[in-house]
Chain A
Amino acid sequence: GENVEQHPSTLSVQEGDSAVIKCTYSDSASNYFPWYKQELGKGPQLIIDIRSNVGEKKDQRIAVTLNKTAKHFSLHITETQPEDSAVYFCAAEMDTGRRALTFGSGTRLQVQP
């Protein structure tokens, strides 16, 4: 099955700095890569996603890049704000008709004011 590794497990940045979280996946058949944000006491929420036929996608201060050859993808947050503090999860899914995301282990991002 698919295996998704996520780094770092914790990340602390100053407000206004950029943050980068990286994930690698094992199965070259995976072709959908979403990122979820989980705030304290809540369930995860989708923030951005990308399919394998696209190399980069941006949505305001967040962007995701995908390198299919190297089987890794990254989340970039620019001009970080205290409300970006949360746990972020990457995930991968194979388009086999059997819907099942495999999640990474999560990154706790702390933005220091």
Chain B
Amino acid sequence: NAGVTQTPKFQVLKTGQSMTLQCAQDMNHNSMYWYRQDPGMGLRLIYYSASEGTTDKGEVPNGYNVSRLNKREFSLRLESAAPSQTSVYFCASSVLQGAGEKLFFGSGTQLSVL
């Protein structure tokens, strides 16, 4: 059981280039998320999708777009990369379990924009 799979693991871009981060989950979860992690700032939500066909902005959506391709896949696109988008990106899916919504994270994509 793979859980949440992200590709690529590492990426270096030049300012202005575009790229898509891919994410897939095999746990049949309805909700999926994209977070970015920066030193000293914790995890900040970029976009999330409560179910197939719906997406909503999170705390830091500017410069990003998302696509919920189907129930399994949720991609994040940078149309014109900027140095401020250098970060570690995590995809997650979630299920209601026990006290609340439990998130399952992928292993992350380290992105550098030069």
Contact = CB atoms under 8 A, between A and B. Distances in A.
Interface of A: 1, 4, 6, 9, 32, 34, 36, 41-46, 49-51, 54, 89, 93, 98-106
Main secondary structure, interface of B, reads: strand
20 contacts: A32-B100, A34-B99, A41-B107, A41-B108, A43-B92, A43-B107, A44-B43, A44-B105, A45-B105, A46-B102, A49-B98, A49-B100, A49-B102, A98-B56, A99-B50, A99-B94, A100-B48, A101-B45, A105-B42, A106-B40
Contact of A42 (B40, B41, B98, B107): B107
A43 B37 CA distance: 10
A9 B101 contact: no
B98 A101 contact: no
Given A32-B99, A34-B100, A44-B103, 17 more contacts: A36-B103, A41-B108, A42-B107, A43-B106, A43-B107, A44-B43, A46-B102, A50-B99, A89-B42, A99-B31, A99-B48, A99-B50, A99-B101, A100-B45, A100-B48, A101-B43, A106-B42
Contacts of B90: 43-44
A103 B43 contact: yes
Contact of A9 (B4, B40, B100): B40
B48 A105 contact: no
A100 B58 contact: yes
Interface of B: 4, 31, 40-45, 48, 50, 56, 58-59, 90, 92, 94, 98-103, 105-108
B45 to A, nearest CB: 6
Contacts of B107: 41-43
Contact of B44 (A6, A45, A103): A103
B99 to A, nearest CB: 5
A19 B44 CA distance: 25
